[in-house]
Every structure is written in C-alpha cells, then in structure tokens.
Structure 1
Amino acid sequence: MPTWTALTTLAEKARAEALGEALDALDPAPTGVGVFELEDGSGLWEVGGYFTETPDDIALALLAAAHDAKPFAVSKLPETDWVAHVRRELHPVEAGRFYLYGAHDADSLPQGAVGLLIEAAMAFGTGHHGTTKGCLLAVDRLLNAGKLPQSVADIGCGTAVLAIAAAKVLQRSVIASDIDQVAVDVARANAAANKVAELVHCVEAAGFDHPDLAARAPYDLVFANILKGPLIELAPSMAAHIAAAGYAILSGILNPQADEVVAAYRAVGMDVADRFELGEWTTLTLRKR
C-alpha cells in the first residue's frame, strides 16, 4: 500500500500540538500524526502525518499558514516489506536474565536465559524498543532482590512481551490487556509461540476496566508501558488495584516527563523504588505505601 508523509516545523509546543490536532481532522485523514521536539537545540517542533491516500496539498498549505508553520513537505514513500526489513535489521536484546529475539535468531539463545520470542509485526512492533528493555530490566532487578509477585497484570500489553516474561519466570498466571482487539489477538499468538498460552490471559480493556482484571486484584506487580498522559490518568486506578507494598513498573516516559509521572503517583500513595534512563526513555518502579 502506498504511503505519503507530510512534514513541517514550527516554534512552540502549544502551536505544534494545535497543528497536530488540526492535521488529524483533514480529509483524507492521516493514519497517524506525530508531534516531536527536534533534538538539534533549535527549539523547533516537527509535526507530521502519514497518509494512505494522496493528501490534499491545498488543505495542508492553509493549515501551515494558519499555524505560522513552514509549508508541508509531502513525500511518497517507497513500498517496503517492513517485516522482512525488521527481521534483517533487528538484533536480539539482552535485559538481565531475559533474551528477546525473533525466530531467525533462535540459534543465538544463550543457555540459561529466559527466551522471549517476538516476531516482527507491522502493527505492534517487536518489543525491542528501549522502553520494553527498561521494563524487563526493572522486573529483573525486582527478582534479583527476592521479590516474587503472586498476581501480575500487563496493562496496554501490545505484543504482551512483559506478560510473557513474567509468566515464564514466575510460572504463574498473568493477565494482559489492551484497548485494541487486534493487539489482544497478537498477544495471544505470542503467548502461544512462547508456550505460555495457558498462563497468559488476554482481554480487551481500557486500563483496569474489565471484570477479569477486577477479579484478580489486588496485584503485587503491574506493568504499564504506555505514554505519559495515559499513565497519569491511570494513577488513581493503578493505586486502587495494587496490593499494599505492591509494585508498578512504568515506561513509555520521556526523560523530561518522569518527574510529572512520579508526582502523580506519589499523590496516590506510590513512591519511587527504582528509576533509570535508557537513552531518551525513563523506566520507573513504584511501590505502594
């Protein structure tokens, strides 16, 4: 399927976010919109959209002018087999006792490692992202400290790599949820590929809003590798569903955002037990008072 990109830059975060919202309302609508601060020290923000239909040049020009942005640069991307490309380019990831790999790297699994087989998937990634590695390292640190959670949930599970990791190392039932039913189907397939289908229970839910999630609470450990905004919104519900002295491992947090997330969780009775950065991402391990 052909894909077009439309990219522009402008100053000030608020204006960039407003342009991103306006871009999302175009017809034909973009399949995705991104708003990012450039890392070159210029103070500029990039706003971009991905389209599966040719974008409306006139509408883009009007949007750029209305938001005092540079004219959009529109490009048609070459059609690429991204799954094959990912298989060629991605290498296994080691995170403490865990070893994340694709089937093409199965021969490289170290003896004694907890293998996590996650194949390239266009819609939901491979689990190789730095935020996923941060979560795996965080749970490895908890395990090394002698913490063995009895009840575990993975909220916003995506590929379910974190739920699979917990199920494999603890040999206990873990519940994984995502707001997208297709993601839930992918999670189930990944659990089966890792031979833990009977241990990983996958449900479609926003946050903890599912009877199966409520039935298993309170949790000793909850993963939530999502984004800053949803994490902050989730804080009261997270605290309500975690047992006293239980843990939450959070990521999807850009380093400058971490203090805001910490403050939101401290306000609901959860304190930082561990915190570290991997590149531009922060992983937090929080403990309920």
Structure 2
Amino acid sequence: MTSWVARLSCNRREAEAAIALDEPFPGIAPPPILTATEGDGGWLLELHTGTRPSPALLAMLSALAPSAPDPPSVEEIPEADWVVQSQAGQAPVDAGRFHVFPGHRAGEARPGQIALRIEASLAFGTGQHATTAGCLLILDRLARQRRLGRVLDLGTGSGVLAIAAARADRSARVIATDIDPVAIRVARRHAGRNHADGISFGVGAGLGATPIRRAAPFDLVLANILARPLIELAEGLSWTVRPGGLLLLAGLLRGQERAIRAAFGARGFRLVQRLQGDWPILLLARRGRGKPPSRAAAIRAARRGKAAAWRSAGTI
C-alpha cells in the first residue's frame, strides 16, 4: 500500500496560521494530516493522505499559502515512510531529567536521566517539537516538587507525556486518551517498551471518553493540542481539574496566548508558570479547595466540550 504527500512552499506566517487551524480542510473525510517544516529553502506545508489528493483538496491547500510561487507538488510514497524519514537521524531530546530517544540512538542517556524510547510512528509526539519538550521540562519540575497524583494526558499521541509522568512518579495514576485508535495502539506499545505498564488508555473525543468521566477530577491534566480546541474545552476542563489542581496547556502560538488565558481565567484558573517562546507553555492552577463537582455536573460539562474533538495528528 502507498500514501501520498503534497508539498507547498509558504512563509512562516502562513505556516503558523495553517497548523493553528482546527479544521484546515472542512468536509474532507477522512481528515488529511497537515504539517509545517522549516528548511534551508524556507517554510513548507506538507499534506499527507492515504489516496491521491483531489483537485479540490489541493485547492484548499493552495489557499493556505497565497505567497507560494508554484502549485503544490504531489508525490506517491510508501505508506507511513514520511514519518520515519522525517525522524530518522534526529538527535535525542533532553528536557529536565527526561531523555527522549529513537531506538537507533539507545544508550546515550546520562546517569540520573529518565530515558524514554519513542519511535517514529503514525502518532505524533517525539519530543522534538518545542511544545512537547516544554511540557516535559515543566513535568519534570512538578515531579521533583510533589506527587503527581491522578494525571490525565488529553490527546496523548505517541504517549510520551503520559509515559513521562508515570516514570517520574511511580505512584501516579495516569490516564491517556486520544480520538485516534492508531495513536492509542502506538502509545500502548511505547508504554510497554518504557516500563510504564500502569497507564490506562482509552479512545474518545474531547472530554467524553469513558476513562475520563470515571476518574475525574484530576490533580494534573496535560493538554498539548491546539488553541481552538483548548478554548472550546475550557468549561469542561474547569470541572475535570480538581480545585487546587494543575492544568498544563501547550500547542498554542504566542499570538493566541491572550485568548487562552482569558478563556481559562474566566473559569477559575490562574497562571502559575509560563515558558516563553513562539510556542508558549502555560501551567495553570484551578482556584479553590472546595468540594469537587458532582459526577453528573462533570458529565454535563464533558458533553458540552465534546464538540472540541480533534485528531491526534493535530497534536504537536
């Protein structure tokens, strides 16, 4: 079997705007995967599909980058090779105590580091992107300071954040969910390879997944997704995080931070820590130490947030 990739030149602003879209290709099913990379020749949008992209889909791609001097190029490639090739040869990533590496770079962790083997696959999240690395850095700081308690990794992708939480605090109860069953299969495999067998995985959209409803509220929620789904999930997350609990948000661009902070500030969250950069990482705490909401209230909030479902390929 083969898959297809369409490539289109763009500038940085167009790349950032394109990958920030919740649904860059409305009406296309199954939704294609869109990535943006920067190389020696400038920025590039890449569209990955299981079948040859239609003229309508290519027109949608072209509309995302008006500055492109040429139409998209289309290439047929072996299935999933684009993922492997994009990660082949990449150096391990160090973030706090965490050392994230592909299998061919095993044995390079320093004494005292927590080595996490995350392979190239059909699920995103290898630690290479600033959002994942930033989340790992803050997660390491938290694990040094306190017990993590009950943890939710929302939109887990490769499972790297859930695995990191489980490895950094063996007493933590970690739940990881994703709308994409392929991502969950990959994450389970990674958990086994990294001796993090205690993680509970589940498939589900937004906050509507059964494992979330059963285990809420959480002491720590990790949400490395995109700005628009985060805003749409703000109300549901206000019930999913226990009073006094923490919420780690990532996947937003610098220009989207004000809207994110306003949405969560209005629902009882305050900023605890921020990592600066083009992709800021926000650690928020839910105000109050009162009685957690009833299960019925939490389920109602989860259903209202269910419309904010996303593909794990939208995670970074």
TM-score normalized by structure 1? 0.79
Counterpart contact for 2:143–2:169, Cα < 8 Å: no
Query: In the superposition, relative to structure 1, how do residues 117 and 55 fare at CA in structure 2: closer, same or farther (>3 Å)?
Result: closer
Shift of 1:261: 0.6
Worse-matched range after superposition: 201-210 or 219-228: 201-210
Matching of residue 138 in structure 1 with residue 138 in structure 2: yes
Tell me the alpha carbon deviations over residues 185-220 of structure 1, each in whole angstroms, 9 at most, x when there is no partner: 1111111111112x1110011222123212222111
Q: What SS class does the counterpart of residue 263 from structure 1 fall into?
A: helix
Equivalent residue number for residue 155 of structure 1: 154
The question of whether the paired residues in 2 share the 8 Å contact of 1:179 and 1:205 is answered with yes
Q: Is there any run of 5+ residues in structure 2 with no aligned partner, and where?
A: 288-316
TM-fit CA distance, 1:114: 1.1
> What's the CA shift for 1:78?
6.8
Does 125-134 or 73-82 show the bigger shift? 73-82
CA shift in 2, pair 1:111/1:23, >3 Å: closer
Q: How does 1:40-189 map to 2 (within 5 A)?
A: 49-50=47-48, 53-55=51-53, 73-77=71-75, 79=77, 81-82=81-82, 84-144=84-144, 146-171=145-170, 172-189=172-189
Kindly indicate whether the alpha-carbon contact (under 8 Å) linking 1:153 and 1:223 is maintained by their aligned counterparts in 2.
yes
1-structure distance, mates of 2:208, 2:60: 41
Corresponding residue number in structure 2 for 1:41: none
What letter is aligned with 2:119? Answer: E
2:285 equivalent to 1:284 = no
Deviation at 1:275, TM superposition (A): 0.7
Give the number of equivalent residue pairs: 271
Sequence identity, in percent?
36
Give the unaligned 5+ runs of structure 1: 39-44
Distance 2:209 2:150 in 1: 16
For the pair 1:232 / 2:231, whether they are aligned, the reply is yes
Q: How far apart, CA to CA, are the structure 1 residues paired with 2:228 and 2:82?
A: 29
Superposed displacement of residue 25, structure 1: 5.0
Contact kept, 8 Å, 1:99 with 1:114, in 2: the verdict is yes
The equivalent of 2:290 in structure 1 is none
Task: Between the two structures, name the one with larger relative contact order (CA 8 Å, sep ≥ 6).
Answer: 2
Could you tell me how far apart the structure 1 residues matched to 2:118 and 2:235 are?
32
Decide whether aligned partners of structure 1 residues 86 and 151 sit closer, same or farther in structure 2, where only a CA change above 3 A counts. same
Q: Report the CA distance between 1:97 and its aligned residue.
A: 1.1
CA contact (8 A) 2:155 2:179 kept: yes
Letter in structure 1 aligned against 2:195: K
1:87 Cα deviation (Å)? 4.9
Question: Residues 83 and 176 of structure 1: is their aligned pair in 2 closer, same or farther, counting only changes over 3 Å?
Answer: same
Q: Which has the larger radius of gyration?
A: 1
C-alpha change, 1:59 and 1:266, in structure 2 (3 Å) is: closer
TM-score, normalised on structure 2?
Answer: 0.73
Q: 1:210 to 1:90 in 2, by over 3 A?
A: same
Q: Contact between 1:24 and 1:32, CA under 8 Å: does it hold in 2?
A: no
Structure 1 residue 105, shift from structure 2 partner: 1.4
Further displaced range: 88-97 or 222-231: 88-97
Q: Which residue number in structure 2 is paired with residue 259 of structure 1? A: 258
C-alpha distance in structure 1 between counterparts of 2:215 and 2:162, whole Å: 15
SS in 2 for 1:126: coil
Relative distance call for 1:183 and 1:69 in structure 2 (3 A) is same
